[in-house]
Structure 1
Amino acid sequence: MSIKKEDIISALEEMKLTELNELVKAIEEHFGVVASAGIAVAAGPVADSAPSEVSVLLTSAGAQKVAVIKVVKEITGLGLMDAKKLVDSTLPAVIKENVKIEDAEAIKAQLVEAGASVDFK
């Protein structure tokens, strides 16, 4: 049985954002790969039933923890010590709550560039 690329794309277009996120995680786990931030952004328009606001979660500070702390400080407006405590806290840590999808993507891009791993809730 051969599945055409167009059939897969058509099926993806009908999925909700949360379903796409679960699919990406399952593919990453199955094939042992990590999707880049560009792929998630290029996934397509958000379905009408998807939430318009999300919470940005820091899932890992990565190897460049100091750079991530600086970005968290800038994004949240916290002091340096409070930003460090947030990054060092039990992960996933909420960086911003009730953020528009577009703003959340911008925050994610900043954090990923600094070396962090980010997810939305």
Structure 2
Amino acid sequence: MIQKNSKAKEMHQVELMIGQILRIGVIVSAVVIVLGILLMVIQGNGGYPNGVQPEGFVAIAKGVVALKPYAVIMLGLFLLILTPTLRVVVSIYAFAVEKDRLYVWITTVVLIILVIASIIGYFEH
């Protein structure tokens, strides 16, 4: 009985952590996007010529360092996309703690699909 209670408390902690990850991820990405919008208003443009945008992580990072508004907004969107993926990673841990092998495998497959889809999407454009 003590072991079940301990496991329940640990799972509750994991659920709280997942909630915190989602909340923090959305807040941080929203703040970054708003900062990008403010930079755009202050600078009067997106930091790139019309029809040009940063493509790839390196270009976005260089644009953020140069305080180019459009790159900052794209970083915020990237963080927003990354948030649920991080939740999947934490879910794998949670299912492993529960010793639920089936859901560990299913969630791992979901993570692999997310990663592959991201890589394909990156190289498609």
TM-score normalised to structure 2 length = 0.30
**Would you tell me which structure has more strand in proportion to its own residues?**
1
* Higher relative contact order, structure no. (Cα contacts within 8 Å, ≥ 6 residues apart): 1
By percentage of residues, which structure has more helix?
Answer: 2
